[in-house]
């Protein structure tokens, strides 16, 4: 056998290196690249799922905070609404307020409790004997009264302010201010005025709370 020349040896080594590179490319490099691409796609999908779950968790925390705030606001509002059995005490407190500001309470006329009016257009049974559509439970009633007080302007102003800052929520409507009609009244620097107003509050039914 004829010995290989240096050039032949170089060609053989070159072919061997090329063969090794081809084997490495097809059996090592290419599979690893495919594996890296698969893992990269899985990582992207996992990051997207994580971001979505984090956004949902943030929204849930925000919703929980909003629900807690609404519940707190409702408790504050309910605390300012008298129950039906507190109506006599409410009238006594209004009389006491008039006395504290030196106003002459000449009329306090309570009206009967009223249920809030149901919205118009509620569905009705389509035929006789059909079950009635469910309606929302009435959780409060309205209580109105008419008040007339007399006194100088600063006294009337103090009385109105006292109602605005009353421990129980009271809405004032139909305010009427006029000079007091008194026979033989002598004009002075502090003329007597008459204030007439209608006040309304929302009352919790007896079964609506533990108070």
Per-residue confidence at 77, pLDDT binned at 50, 70, 90? low
- Helix boundaries (H) for the chain: 6-24, 30-79, 87-100, 153-164
- Per the model's pLDDT, the better-predicted residue between 163 and 85 turns out to be 163
- Residue 72 to residue 75: CA distance in whole angstroms: 5
Look at residue 53 and tell me if it is in a domain.
Answer: yes
Look at residue 162 and tell me if it is in a domain.
Answer: yes
206's tokens? 């007896």
The pLDDT of residue 111 is: 85
- List pLDDT tens digits, range 94-110: 899 999 999 999 998 88
- List pLDDT tens digits, range 137-195: 446 778 888 999 999 999 999 999 998 888 777 888 888 888 886 644 445 567 889 99
One domain, residues 71 and 98? no
One domain, residues 102 and 204? yes
Which of 63, 79, 95 terminates a domain? The answer is 79
| Predicted confidence (pLDDT) at residue 50 exceeds the cutoff of 80 | yes
- Per the model's pLDDT, the better-predicted residue between 127 and 154 turns out to be 154
Domain that holds residue 40: 1-79
For 210, residues 6+ apart whose C-beta sits below 8 A from its C-beta are none
Average pLDDT over residues 79-99: 77
One domain, residues 172 and 102? yes
Q: At CA 65, angle to CA 62 and CA 67, rounded to 5?
A: 110
Residue 171: CATH number of its domain: 3.30.70.60
Per-residue confidence at 62, pLDDT binned at 50, 70, 90? confident
The pLDDT of residue 131 is: 46
One domain, residues 70 and 157? no
| Predicted confidence (pLDDT) at residue 2 exceeds the cutoff of 50 | yes
For the ranges 45-49, 73-77, 148-152, 188-192, the one whose mean pLDDT is highest: 148-152
Which of 79, 108, 130 terminates a domain? The answer is 79
- List pLDDT tens digits, range 13-37: 777 777 887 887 777 778 888 888 8
Flag the least confident range among 81-85, 169-173, 207-211. Answer: 207-211
Average pLDDT over residues 2-19: 76
Say how many domains are in the chain. 2
| Predicted confidence (pLDDT) at residue 119 exceeds the cutoff of 50 | no
Q: Are 174 and 197 in contact (CB under 8 A)?
A: yes
The gap from C-alpha 137 to its chain's centroid, in whole angstroms, comes to: 20
One domain, residues 18 and 47? yes
The pLDDT of residue 152 is: 92
């Amino acid at each position: 056998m004829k010995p290989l020349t240096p050039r032949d040896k170089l060609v053989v080594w070159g072919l061997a290196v090329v063969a090794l590179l081809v084997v490495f490319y097809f059996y090592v490099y290419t599979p690893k690249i495919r594996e890296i691409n698969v893992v990269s796609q899985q990582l992207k999908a996992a990051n997207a799922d994580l971001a979505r779950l984090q956004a949902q968790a943030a929204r849930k925390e925000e919703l929980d905070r909003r629900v807690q705030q609404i519940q707190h606001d409702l408790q504050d509002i309910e605390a300012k609404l008298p129950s039906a059995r507190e109506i006599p005490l409410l009238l006594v407190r209004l009389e006491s307020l008039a006395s504290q500001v030196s106003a002459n309470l000449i009329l306090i006329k309570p009206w009967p409790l009223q249920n809030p009016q149901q919205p118009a257009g509620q569905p009705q049974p389509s035929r006789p004997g059909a079950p009635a559509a469910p309606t929302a439970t009435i959780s409060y009633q309205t209580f109105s009264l008419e008040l007339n007080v007399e006194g100088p302007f600063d006294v009337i102003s103090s009385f109105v302010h006292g109602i605005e800052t009353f421990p129980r929520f009271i809405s004032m409507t139909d305010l009427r201010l006029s000079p007091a009609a008194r026979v033989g009244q002598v004009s002075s620097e502090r003329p007597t005025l008459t204030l007439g107003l209608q006040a309304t509050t929302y009352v919790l039914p007896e079964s609506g709370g533990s108070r």
